[in-house]
Structure 1
Amino acid sequence: MSRPGLFISFEGIDGSGKSTQARLLAEALRAQGREVVLTREPGGSPGAEEIRKLVLTGERDRWSAETELLLFTAARRDHLERTIAPAIAAGQVVICDRFADSTRMYQGLSRGDLRAAVDQLHDLMIGREPDLTLLIDIDPATGLGRALSRGGDEERFESFGEGLQEKMRAGFLALAEEFSDRFVTIDGNRPLEDVAVDVAAVAGAHLS
């Protein structure tokens, strides 16, 4: 009998270390014999990766919050259809670096007070949440410093500064309370190895 699939998302402010923790968890589960799909948002499918280029590069005012919401939702729908849903149906573990909770924060809270619109569009076009969401919580100033030190051309949201980081952290913690049935908050202000131990323990409990 095949094992059931599981959908795990990682959330957190920029520079929280969630991408590293998602990768480490994928490696650990693969070492245990699990089939794992490690993916990201925006992106994770060819069409969604094209949209990623549109929303993460360019000037701060390139898109309105409303336009960003539509673009992110379009990317997520393609990602869901082509990557996430087929993998879960095949019994694989999907580990996703960001999902709809990031849109609830970035477009729904910090960019335009569009939370109701985010949820309505999500219900209409996406219709599912992760089975488990791991929130890597970190000091906003530390996170921003890490994010900016990465360099590259995908720094459109980092350019909004520490004020956005602080607002986002508070928003993610509020989401963790709102969706307490699937959120687990993990202290990211520690060595990555210690964080990874906690991440693996939480994920393991859901997979047992």
Structure 2
Amino acid sequence: MEIRRRTAAVLLAALLLAGPAAHGHSVDHELVQGNITGLGHIGGDFGFIDDDGQLRRLSDFRGAPVLLFFGFANCPDVCPGFLAKASAVRRELGDAGAALPVIFVTVDPARDDRERLRRYLALFGDGFVGARVPDGELAEVMRQYAVAAQRVRDEDGKIVITHGSGAYLIDAAGGTAAYISTTRSVAEIAAQVAALLQ
């Protein structure tokens, strides 16, 4: 059992790091169809400073599902694409969607200060929470969620960040209920959230 869990965790980490090019295969399809089984050790509570400057914890949101996504405000494609889908999911679900927080954990806290996160997330509507994990703790939180990110320089010498492109659906008890590929449609993501609400 332990070997199977470790194998599943490695597989999930590889999918997260590989990004959109790896999504859409049968194994990913299986992962996003429902609860992740055998991966109960993925995830966990953590503290962060929100875009209002308040010290919060993921556990503060227990009682309702949460969409949890790791990214950065300067991300050119995957992040805005998924956040736009998350906004559409909230609208699709009506009153239930209005109660679904989307927590955006920056993997670039050096550049994503509180004000920048607030301005960025405001582009996607209400219900989005910018999260800056305290210095020295981000690497551990990313390890908890099998998220990989790397700072590199492009051909113009600008710093860019490559990072995993999946999100997590956290259940009302604070557990990791599902991994969601950013290539899933709004209807598919909404169906996953709705199933968790039943």
TM bucket (normalised to shorter chain) is 0.3 to 0.5
Give the structure with the higher percent strand. 2
Q: Normalising by the residue count of structure 2, what TM-score does the alignment of the two structures yield?
A: 0.33
